[in-house]
A and B are shown apart, each in its own frame.
Chain A
């Protein structure tokens, strides 16, 4: 410390050294404290970053800065996904309606398959939830399950895992939704026969290739809505199921032009995800293809302009063309996805 016995010069010299150092410490502390207060700043706890290993030919996945993938959060999300603790009566879990063996849907629920969902920005058949996976998982936790967070806070194992993943001592629906979103973001299918064919690893049969051409031409005209590597267009449309359709997107937007429009589902793993259409009216792919061939309702309100053959009832395919098309659709089945142990019940 300063001593009155020191000379004025010594004192000045000392202060010349100390002052900038202290100023630097205060300055840097100031920088840090501002960052820590920033709600957009990444979490400061030390969870282990995870790489999703996404294929180059898939779109860029929007991942919020506040929920970057970590090993701990993905594992936690997976555990929560299979745990009935999210249900107040603990009678069902996410997996009750989303069974991995059928691409994370079930026949009973006809829920949209949880496959490549990280590339979506509107969720549910009528688009009720918009945003990121964090938004749909929060909806599921708070509105669908109405999860009792006390049950999780009373569980020391979960408290420890949430602490490791998100640095929190008290679990809220927010952190539950974040962890589930991280698990959902790993549920990506890109190893079907079709993908392996694109990579030059296998050949399609003559029938499958004929179906590929029907799918991707104005003969079957499937690609306009179910195109891209994700096999959907990220839009809503009315495909002409009924003269008096269910309201669909209209329920969300209130816009009469949206009446009868539903989310275009992906066709990946379509072989596994019966029944088909938003109301599950078709049990088989044959029924679906028959519908697009000759069952389209031309006068259904807000019918998509892409249903350009509707005046004839549809694309009018021959039986053999239908067979080829279905053969191609089955190349979108990815058993490495439905059997991936990283997605299975960890318990």
Chain B
């Protein structure tokens, strides 16, 4: 593949050479007796002009305003408990089962992210997104380039990774790699790691609310969030919000003390999570 930078320079070189030829052709007629004067003019032309040219040429492609995307869209991710931004590492929330709990870790995947327009057409946004709510680098995704203008009615995504994507070695780099779901348990990746403490009498215990595929059950689910917005200038800025309390209720009241030895191998719990997940996500327009 030809080097874009070299190609651009060559194109400019050709362009500038032609420009020089035009200049010299348009120089006024000179008397042979005044060749010295004409030489001075040419000298100025072929020394000063190239100097001026190469001071403005050879800019790298990423500095070329013509190559720069003019618009950028954003997907933000936010986690809340009882509608308020999560306050980490503090036993201060009470879920429907009565567990007093705190939150330490929220990492998850969503995939097949798309906007749905008025005609029901899906406009793809991203294949897979890894979110870590305690790491700013993984709570905001940027998408350079214009999206189709129009009216949109929903945001859709898969919670977790669909079965085509959820294969061991699909994400070999950190931090995504550390979401791995062990091969003896089916392989692939955790869909979510939601972790923290819950009160246990005068003491506490840890919970690992870990979701993923098990025993041939994919356990991912489709999320369709109705939201009405317009794209008028090719870009959007949307926030996907997760209400943590909703993982623990409706239709199943989820008691954290029942997973004190883990839930990765417990399909009943995985199924409950899947069924509770229907109203966990909402979308806000920024």
Measured CA separation A311–B53 after assembly (Å):
73
Residues A217 and B32 in contact, CB atoms below 8 Å apart = no
Extra 11 A-B pairs, beta carbons < 8 Å, given A23-B53, A27-B13, A305-B197? A11-B35, A15-B42, A19-B24, A27-B53, A28-B13, A218-B265, A227-B178, A228-B177, A234-B178, A307-B206, A311-B205
* A311, B202: Cα distance in complex, Å: 12
Q: Are A2 and B39 closer than 8 Å at their CB atoms?
A: yes
A7 adjacent to B178 (CB under 8 Å)? no
Residue interface bits B2-46, CB-to-A below 8 A is 1, else 0: 000000010011001100110011010111100110110010011
* Between-chain CB contacts (< 8 Å), 21 pairs: A8-B29, A8-B30, A18-B46, A22-B46, A22-B50, A23-B20, A23-B50, A24-B13, A27-B12, A30-B54, A34-B58, A59-B173, A60-B172, A216-B185, A217-B182, A217-B265, A218-B261, A218-B264, A221-B262, A306-B195, A306-B208
Interface contact tally, CB-CB below 8 A: 144
CA distance A147 to B20 in the complex (A): 57
Binary B-proximity of A1-27 (CB < 8 A = 1, otherwise 0): 010100110011001101110111011
Q: Which residues of A contact B185 (CB under 8 A)?
A: 216-217
Q: Which 9 A-B pairs have the closest CB atoms?
A: A30-B54, A216-B182, A218-B262, A305-B195, A26-B50, A20-B17, A233-B178, A234-B174, A31-B58
B38 nearest CB across to chain A (Å): 7
Q: Is A66 an interface residue (CB 8 A)?
A: no
A340 vs B243: C-alpha distance in the bound complex, in angstroms?
A: 53
B172 near A305: Cβ-Cβ < 8 Å: no
Contact B195 A23 (CB under 8 A): no
User: Chain A contacts of B12 at CB under 8 A?
Assistant: 27
B96 within 8 A of A: no
C-beta contact mask, B165-192 vs A, less than 8 Å → 1, else 0? Answer: 0000100111101101011110000000
A residues near B46, Cβ cutoff 8 Å: 15, 18-19, 22-23
The answer, among A30, A223, A307, for a CB contact under 8 Å with B58, is A30
Residue among A7, A60, A311 with the highest chain B CB neighbour number at 10 A: A311
Chain A residues lying within 8 Å of B175, measured Cβ to Cβ, are: 234
A11–B173 touching, CB < 8 Å: no
Residues of the B chain whose Cβ atoms lie less than 8 Å from the Cβ of A22: 46, 50
Q: Does B118 contact A (CB under 8 A)?
A: no
Q: Chain B residues near A27 (CB, 8 Å)?
A: 9, 12-13, 16, 50, 53-54, 57-58
A residues adjacent to B (C-beta < 8 A): 2, 4, 7-8, 11-12, 15-16, 18-20, 22-24, 26-31, 34, 56-60, 119, 212-213, 216-218, 221, 223-224, 227-229, 233-235, 257, 298, 303, 305-311
Say yes or no: B17 contacts A309, CB within 8 Å: no
Are the C-beta atoms of A57 and B53 separated by less than 8 Å? no
A305 contacts B196, CB within 8 Å?
yes
User: Which residue of B30, B50, B105, B178 is within 8 Å of A305 (Cβ)?
Assistant: B105
Say how far A227's CB is from chain B's closest CB, in angstroms.
5
- Contacting residues, chain A, for B264 (C-beta < 8 A): 217-218
Min Cβ gap B139→A in Å is 17
A216 nearest CB across to chain B (Å) = 4
A213-B184, A218-B261 known; A19-B42 Cβ under 8 A:
yes
Q: Does B236 contact A (CB under 8 A)?
A: no
Q: Looking at the assembled complex, report how far the CB atom of A311 sits from the nearest CB atom of chain B, in whole angstroms.
A: 5
Q: Which of A30, A58, A306 contacts B172 (CB 8 A)?
A: A58
Q: When chains A and B are docked, how far (Å) is the Cα of A221 from the Cα of B169?
A: 20
Q: How far is A20 from B13 in the complex, measured between Cα atoms in Å?
A: 9
Contact mask for chain B residues 191-204; partner A; CB cutoff 8 A; 1 contact, 0 none: 00001110010010
B51 within 8 A of A: yes
Give chain B residues whose Cβ lies under 8 Å from the Cβ of A56: 169
Q: What's the minimum C-beta distance from B189 to chain A, rounded to whole angstroms? A: 11
The answer to whether B49 has its CB under 8 Å from any CB of chain A is yes
Q: Do A227 and B196 touch across chains, with their CB atoms under 8 A apart?
A: no
Provide the bound-state CA to CA distance between A12 and B29, in Å.
10
User: Judging by beta carbons under 8 Å apart, are A7 and B32 in contact?
Assistant: yes
Whether B72 is near chain A, meaning CB under 8 Å from some CB there, is no
